[in-house]
Amino acid sequence: MKIFNLSMECYPVAKVGGLADVVGALPKYLNKIEGVEASVIMPWYNKPFVHEHSFETVFDGWIHQSRHMYQVQVMKERSKTLGFDLYLVKIPGLLDRNDPYGYWDGDQQFLAFQHGVLHWLSAMEIRPDIIHCHDSHTGLVPFMIENCPDFSFLKDVKTIGTIHNGEYQGQMKWEMTGYMPWFHGENWGLLDWDGFINPLAAMIKCCHAFNAVSEGYLNELFHHFRGLESLVSQESGKAYGILNGIDTEVWDPATDSFLDFNFGKNDAAEGKLKNKTVLCEEYGFNPDLPLFSFIGRFAGEKGADLLPEIVWKSIQQTYGALNIMVLGSGDKNIEYQLSELTRSYSNFALDLGYKEYLSHKIYASSDFLLMPSRVEPCGLNQMYAMRYGTVPIVRYTGGLRDTVTDVSSGGSGINFGTASADDTVHAMHRALHMYHEEGLMKNLIQSNMNYDFSWEQSAEKYMEMYRN
């Protein structure tokens, strides 16, 4: 079975969040299954990866967008060290920039990527069994295959859509159809939701099957999906909930080269303490105090706006008996508020920016990881935390609910119900009690490292969906 994954991100080529981790791991684990050939197709970005690897050009052609012609080059990575074939689509003027998102002409970029990929496959008569689209940026592909005469060669290809995040649906104004490949106009309704072109809605309508990245999140979508609740109900016959895995080869505290000290299950408590001591020294913390961390995008979904209040309340209420470390970036107001707090509280450190190496160090060094998410389709941080012997403190929602059971029920972490600073701080008080109970933390560290979130199981579930 030949599967092409279409995505804007893929680790280690270009990563903004968990989408990259998933797309960089799922095909690798699918390829371990007999008879499967899974690859990744993504845009070309000006990132270190593309300069450090060699590529061969496998296609060079042109597409029309509105009144413009754009060159489309497809480059295949030569070394095959990723565990899957990687194809980068370069469209000079549109897909040749530094980052996946954040440009004024983003919609045009996403349309050009989808158009370019389908043009290449049709022109070269490459027909995979499945095209697997990830998130709204690639959500129009199932529609285009069905409705654009230029891609009739691909008609028999089955399409899958994965919803990593239903908060972002990629709505566009109708005038953007000018940038799409020509399609049969009578089917315009498939693109429409509430007066806009809605790529995520179109994906759900047109694909052969779709999934959300956890069972819990799929169930939530029936009730909270930014207006698409009725659509997901109507299309529920082809819906799956498949929990993400984690790449246990990349995320292994015993071999992780980003860590100051590697450790395994047997020396986890000591290993974590050694890493923590180094990190604490770097940020001026007392390593005897428990370390709580947050890693992630500063966005409302992640509850990042609650962080300033969480920081000052928890430090004041405990008279400074804990340390808090935040790594992330995003909303400028949150960045500003947190930066201000570092002046008042020496128990609080902030590292602004995206730093892959530092995230690994923090997972390894922390005692607790905070995830006060309002929405969390799956969440990978809590799984990385557990793999590194850290106790997750999570709001009971989406994928967090599916992966973290409260210690009071024999689970791996602390759950709380409301995305509020008070509920989070209350959970932190519970964590402090645990921290000071001799033996308890040591056992929890070990048992958390025993959880199996590896991709093998989830890859099998994807196979089941593909086969159906």
Interacting positions 329-358 with ligand ADP (CB under 6 A):
329, 354-356
CA dihedral 440, 418, 359, 459 (to 10 degrees): 90
Site for ligand ADP in 1-60 (CB under 6 A): 17-19, 21
Per-residue x/- track, 366-405, ligand ADP (CB under 6 A): ------------xxxx------------------------
Single out the residue of 378, 404, 431, 441 in contact with ligand GLC (rule: CB under 6 A). Answer: 378
CB of 301 to ligand GLC, least distance (A): 7
Of the two residues 115 and 360, which places its CB atom closer to ligand ADP in the complex? 360
DSSP line for 1-26: -EEEEE-S-BTTTB-SSHHHHHHHHH
| Closest to ligand ADP by CB, 17 or 142 | 17
* Phi, psi angle pair for 300, to nearest 5°: -55, -40
* Cβ burial 64-89 (10 Å sphere, 16+ → b, else e): ebeeeebebbbbbbeeeebbbbbbbb
Closer to ligand GLC by CB, 290 or 379: give it. Answer: 379
Supply 388's token pair: 């590194």
Selection from 259, 247, 255 nearest residue 365 by Cα: 259
- Among 4, 6, 13, 17, interactor with ligand GLC by CB under 6 A: 17
- Nearest CA to 278 out of 264, 260, 295, 302 is that of 260
- Give the binding range for ligand GLC (CB under 6 A) out of 111-119, 219-227, 304-312, 370-378: 370-378
In 3D space, the residue among 343, 328, 309, 344 whose CA is nearest the CA of residue 425 turns out to be: 309
Q: Which helix (H) or strand (E) holds 57?
A: strand 55-65
Q: Is 19 in the site for ligand GLC (CB under 6 A)?
A: yes
Site for ligand GLC in 143-182 (CB under 6 A): 164-165
Using CB under 6 A, count the residues that bind ligand GLC. Answer: 14
Rounded distance between C-alpha atoms, residue 468 and residue 462, angstroms: 10
Q: Is residue 18 involved in binding ligand GLC (CB under 6 A)?
A: yes
Q: How far is the CB of 283 from ligand ADP (least distance, A)?
A: 15
The smaller minimum CB distance to ligand ADP, of residues 163 and 295, is found at 295
Which span sits near ligand GLC by CB under 6 A: 18-26, 105-113, 121-129, 345-353? 18-26
Quote the tokens at residue 238: 């082809």
For helices 268-283 and 356-365, what crossing angle results, to 10°?
120
Q: Does 291 bind ligand GLC (CB under 6 A)?
A: no
Give the span between the Cα atoms of 295 and 287, in whole angstroms: 19
Binding partner selected for residue 359 from ligand GLC, ligand ADP, none, CB under the kind-specific 5 to 8 Å limit: ligand ADP
Binds 213: which of ligand ADP, ligand GLC, none (CB < 5-8 Å by kind): ligand GLC
How many angstroms separate the CA atoms of 19 and 8, rounded? 9
ω before 48 within 30° of 0 (cis)? no
Which residue from 295, 307, 341, 385 is in contact with ligand ADP, where contact means CB under 6 A? Answer: 295
Q: How far apart are the first and last CA of the chain?
A: 13
Using the rule CB under 6 A, which residue among 73, 244, 397, 448 binds ligand GLC? Answer: 244
Q: Is residue 9 within the footprint of ligand GLC (CB under 6 A)?
A: no
Question: Taking CB positions, which residue lies at the least distance from ligand ADP?
Answer: 18
| Residues binding ligand ADP (CB under 6 A) | 17-19, 21, 295-297, 327-329, 354-356, 359, 378-381
| Residues binding ligand GLC (CB under 6 A) | 17-19, 22, 164-165, 213, 244, 376-380, 399
